[in-house]
Amino acid sequence: MPTPLLRATPESQGIASSAIAGFVRAAEKLESIHSFMLLRHGVVAAEGWQRPYRPEAPHMLFSLSKSFTSTAVGLAVSEGRLTVNDTVLSFFPEDAPRKISPNLAAMQVRHLLSMSTGHDQDVTDRTLRCRDRNAPRAFLSLPVEHAPGTHFAYNSAASFMLSAIVQKLSGQTLLDYLTPRLFEPLGIQGATWESYPGHDGAPINFGGWGLSITTEDIARFGQCYLQKGVWNDQQIVPAAWVEAATTKQVSNGDNPENDWNQGYGYQFWRCRHNIYRGDGAFGQFCIVMPDQDAVLAITAGVHEMQAVLNVVWDELLPAIGDDPLPADDAAARKLARTLENLELTPPQGAAESPVAARLSGRTYLFERNYETLHSLKFDFEANRLTYRLLGGGKRRGSHTLTFGRGEWVEGVAVLGGHVPQKVVTSGVWKAEDTFELTLCAYETPFTATITCRFDGDKLFYDFKSNVSFGPSERPQLVGKREP
């Protein structure tokens, strides 16, 4: 078991409990903040999880994964496996294009790290959607429009190439490489990393996304960086790498109010207030505050990530003082109650409908559709949904999902996703003919709302997600009652 982090009152760490409560109230207005953990002087000063999110559950990090990829490269550099000045082509001579442009020839590892490869824009799709699954070859075949180092373009394909390089040099995936070097020393257990299938039977961790760990694991990682790579008196990440990775390596904008315009390091973002961070889509943050000797880990499901940082800067940052504060038992108790009561409220509506008994047991069939949904059947007496999916993989076949009424019920679902996910579900009647089912995939940022309206022999099926890389609402499906 990992050594537990020490806990202490906010006041003992120079932060008023009332200020943290103010931060929580402000954060609750930003759609859905799933969890946070605040470390001061290496001690947990405050932490909270919005049920059904929970301390022991991992959470998708999306691009916060990139900061861990950077760390793997730094460790490989310290082991003499490569330097940041090595050319990218030198690792993949067999995948080089016939005609090598001067810009491609000049591209170095440091350009992958700093998102300054010379590509005019993100080339991730073109890299990973190659037919032969040789993504490094696809990456090297693409035009490099600018001289490397002169143009910033946020580009997850660069992070993937870093993962591929570490794997080529070590014979291990990023996850396997980092486990004894970073995860085990930090006490991070059960980490998983999604992978690209590869062309030679050797999957490659995506690098730019795909890592899932807990909120406390994020905080431990940030604290290690705050301590210049030291953990339990051991230098587990080279101090020189921490300095280089978190220093501005390339300019990425000139808006002084935008935390995405403060410069980019080696897979870390610079922030206002001499702060740096790793971050991922929909509000996954590892925020390191050197001047305040503090770390803030956040998981969330929000559209506007700048709004989250604004709340941190406005509510929390000014409250972090230099010296301990007098104990404030009343404020501490109030904060504890606030944190204990954080919850994603189950959907509200009627628990019953006069048509429920008549609709129970009916099977509705769907024509070929994007969801691969073949059929759907409710049992409203048992609070159960049975559905069948077509296609390949773990989605295929019949699935059963139990839902609560006015409460969350644990389950596993594949509706709306590509793989089975742990969920809590709850359903209500929005009208006599309209049943709404909410699925919260609590190890991800995603909460889905499925609305089923019954009209004669037809069922109108609508799917909406709280956050999404594309449209949050999908085209309506129409099912027809099985004869």
Most distant CA pair in the chain, distance:
74
* CA neighbor of 217 nearest in space, from 335, 33, 67, 422: 67
Q: What is the average pLDDT score of the chain?
A: 96
Question: 11-57+214-340 with 65-204: one CATH topology?
Answer: yes
- CATH class (in words) of the domain with range 356-481: mainly beta
Which residue carries 């490094």 as its tokens?
A: 136
Dist. CA 437–CA 383, nearest whole Å: 11
The set of residues, in sequence order, having a beta carbon less than 8 Å from that of 323 and lying 6+ positions away, is 14
DSSP secondary structure string, 9-59? -TGGGT--HHHHHHHHHHHHTSS-EEEEEEEETTEEEEEEE-BT--TTS-E
Q: If DSSP codes are grouped into helix, strand and coil, which group holds residue 381?
A: coil
Superfamily (CATH) of domain 65-204? DD-peptidase/beta-lactamase superfamily (3.40.710.10)
The set of residues, in sequence order, having a beta carbon less than 8 Å from that of 30 and lying 6+ positions away, is 300, 302, 304, 307, 308, 311
Digit-coded pLDDT (tens) for 378-434: 999 999 999 999 976 767 899 999 999 999 999 999 987 778 999 999 999 999 999
Digit-coded pLDDT (tens) for 315-336: 999 999 999 999 999 999 999 9
The whole-number pLDDT of residue 126 equals 97
Digit-coded pLDDT (tens) for 202-233: 999 999 999 999 999 999 999 999 999 999 99
* CA neighbor of 415 nearest in space, from 431, 437, 430, 434: 437
Domain boundaries, the chain: 11-57+214-340, 65-204, 356-481
- CATH class (in words) of the domain with range 11-57+214-340: alpha beta
